[in-house]
Copies of this chain bind each other. A is one copy, B any other.
């Protein structure tokens, strides 16, 4: 990160660091800093250094600020599905950004609202997935799933993942869900360790409104709705989690010609 900041500063670009990262890297007063959530509003491009988790955080800041700026992911160790630039390609990528030789990929976002007693208890966006899980105290999660107002299924499982195509290669894949190409306009519902063996992953149109109603008994539970593995909202008896396509999108900044299939082959060892 510091190298990139030096390189960009030397070429006349203004650099603002996220407070947390600047503190961790002990950059002193070398560059101005700002809270992650605040930065997004005032910059032209957000660059995330790290794994897919870091990019999800950066994307969340951009999306929740409704900033609309593109996000570029640079991975420091292993290639991520969202962080395609390698360390060795960093200078080339930064030059591409300064010279405008980039392109953007538009990624669909989900919006999840927790409805409680007639009002909205929480509302968040997600790039990868919204997941309802039982806690370690519970033995099972029971969930009613309806789609566009129609009852779809009753799920008994450890949890249920509602994933975007972008998120299809993340938690969804571990739980047995399919890979979905980002250009398919769809959401995926994948149960985690379902009790009913026929309760298979299902791919629905992105336009579907999905309502999840966990069946909770008693007051305190440890059932949680988690957004992109980063923000968790405890659920209460009677809650409904309403998930639909967000009215905003994420712009992923791309600087290489690497394709989605290239990444799949490399990450999933498809070229062995």
Interface residues of A (CB under 8 A from B): 53, 133-137, 139, 147, 150-154, 157-158, 165, 168, 171, 173-181, 183-186, 188, 192-205, 208, 222, 224, 226, 229, 232, 259, 261, 264-265, 268-272
Contacts and interface: CB of A to CB of B under 8 A. Distances in A.
* Number of identical monomers bound together in the oligomeric complex: 4
A51 to B, nearest CB: 11
Nearest to A206: B184
A203 B186 contact: yes
Interface of A is mostly: loop
Given A198-B270, A261-B150, A181 B204 contact: yes
A66 to B, nearest CB: 26
Given A136-B136, A224-B136, A198 B198 contact: yes
A175 B197 CA distance: 10
10 contacts: A151-B261, A153-B261, A153-B270, A168-B203, A171-B193, A181-B204, A181-B205, A184-B186, A186-B186, A203-B203
A199 B152 contact: no
Closest 10 CB pairs of A and B: A198-B268, A174-B193, A179-B202, A178-B178, A180-B203, A178-B201, A153-B270, A136-B224, A197-B198, A152-B261
A92 to B, nearest CB: 22
Contact of A174 (B150, B194, B259, B265): B194
